[in-house]
Structure 1
């Protein structure tokens, strides 16, 4: 009897871990801004680590169903470099016109058979070139001014794939009055921006996986100091930390399902 119970308990645990790891959730939040004229839908995906298919559908199917105006991918597309072509095939399916990417630490290394190999700077550049070869716009310490639904949006992406790589170059275009959307892989960029008094309306980051394992709503590991989801860090200034889609180190999630975030930015009436 004990053996039977143990077998059923083990099966239940495996099913639970599988469900928590492959059941991607769309998490929707809303902010208000006086800088836009009509509602914008911004979708963020992060930390794929080679995973493109979920119980709820493929990344392309889920994201396209949301009909986003802007899609932001905040790094860590793969664990192994040989996963990148399949990831890019899936991301190239996205129908959104404005698709932006910023590099994470896993664009600088791969983990194969438990062995970590760091890329040379030349390999890193080749990886970014492969990511940007289709319609993805790679932003590594640079920005782009776009017009979406009659609203000006200044999108700036940081390269904090290694700490200390971040640079901010003031916009050459006239961005006065534009909605300032900033992208980075690590949420550590928040303190970097604060120290330099660099303003933004919305910052999107990932990297933490929300802890990947959360017990009683609290993440295990070193990322407990960062919030998960949306936070108003100052009046009219928001930061969203996405808990990611894939896994690293451990091949499962607990209490921290994969996330695709949808942020609706609505005008101040």
Structure 2
């Protein structure tokens, strides 16, 4: 009996160590989306990362992405309670090496103090998308980045967010929680919808988890990406829902 218990305890420790290892993996997933409205040959490369929480972005990841990205999008939860601001600033500085950075609030971000975080983001020239949109012209393509506030601790206003969207814009909608995808599609026709928050359930046993595993789903002239996120919340463990960040190439033919 004692031997059996020791074996079980040993297996449990090994499983926990494996889950800890999985939680700190770096996986860059590559996606492509053909957009009919884009001019032939035009390409726009987006880097999307969400739910960094307590993790640090290392030089190896950043160097592997340099020159491959036009726009960086942070899908919320860049931090959480207990994370020092200097660590968050270091992560922002890393992302700034890749390109222009845009950000939406996540449900944990305000735990470090909303004004503290806003000042840090503005100091580093990060564009806050709080129920508003901004435009960038990349490779002859007008990209309209539309972001909404976090609905857990802020007020979401879909109509304000899409107010300046024009018919000719290629629209990228960003929200921390994918629950707002349907709201966005009621007032506009986004070409790409991005979210995180769910962590893919973080710990899954086969097909079973608290939430669905993250996925990139291409639909008719549009796509939806719900990311598993880069970091973890609660416990620094993962199983069956690997951490991830993303490069999405939007292109015309």
TM normalised by structure 2 equals: 0.86
Q: Secondary structure at the match of 2:135?
A: strand
Q: In the alignment, what sits opposite 1:241?
A: 226
User: What residue ranges of structure 1 are gaps of 5+ in the alignment?
Assistant: 111-122
Measure, in 2, the Cα distance between the counterparts of 1:158 and 1:81: 25
Q: In the alignment, what sits opposite 1:192?
A: 183
- Report which of the two has the higher share of strand: 1
Q: In the alignment, what sits opposite 2:87?
A: 86
Measure, in 1, the Cα distance between the counterparts of 2:64 and 2:50: 18
Measure, in 2, the Cα distance between the counterparts of 1:184 and 1:75: 8
Measure, in 2, the Cα distance between the counterparts of 1:89 and 1:132: 14
Could you report, residue by residue, the CA deviation over 1:70-102 in whole angstroms, capped at 9, with x for unpaired residues? 111011122225433212212212323321100
Measure, in 2, the Cα distance between the counterparts of 1:237 and 1:3: 53
Aligned length: 244
- Report which of the two has the higher share of helix: 2
Q: Is the 8 A contact 2:33 2:222 kept in 1?
A: no
Measure, in 2, the Cα distance between the counterparts of 1:50 and 1:161: 22
Paired residues for 1:169-208 under 5 Å:
169=160, 170-172=162-164, 175-194=166-185, 196-208=186-198
Between stretches 95-104 and 60-69, larger displacement belongs to: 60-69
Matched, 1:135 2:125: yes
Measure, in 1, the Cα distance between the counterparts of 2:21 and 2:72: 26
User: What residue ranges of structure 2 are gaps of 5+ in the alignment?
Assistant: none
Matched, 1:39 2:43: yes
Residue 69 of structure 1: how far off its partner (Å): 1.0
Q: Is the 8 A contact 1:158 1:166 kept in 2?
A: yes
Q: Secondary structure at the match of 1:217?
A: coil
Q: Is the 8 A contact 2:35 2:222 kept in 1?
A: no
Q: In the alignment, what sits opposite 2:26?
A: 24
Q: In the alignment, what sits opposite 1:231?
A: 217
Q: Is the 8 A contact 1:47 1:244 kept in 2?
A: yes
TM normalised by structure 1 equals: 0.81
Measure, in 2, the Cα distance between the counterparts of 1:172 and 1:24: 36
Q: Is the 8 A contact 1:92 1:135 kept in 2?
A: no
Measure, in 2, the Cα distance between the counterparts of 1:143 and 1:33: 20
Provide the aligned C-alpha RMSD in A: 2.3
Measure, in 1, the Cα distance between the counterparts of 2:100 and 2:106: 20
Q: Secondary structure at the match of 2:54?
A: coil
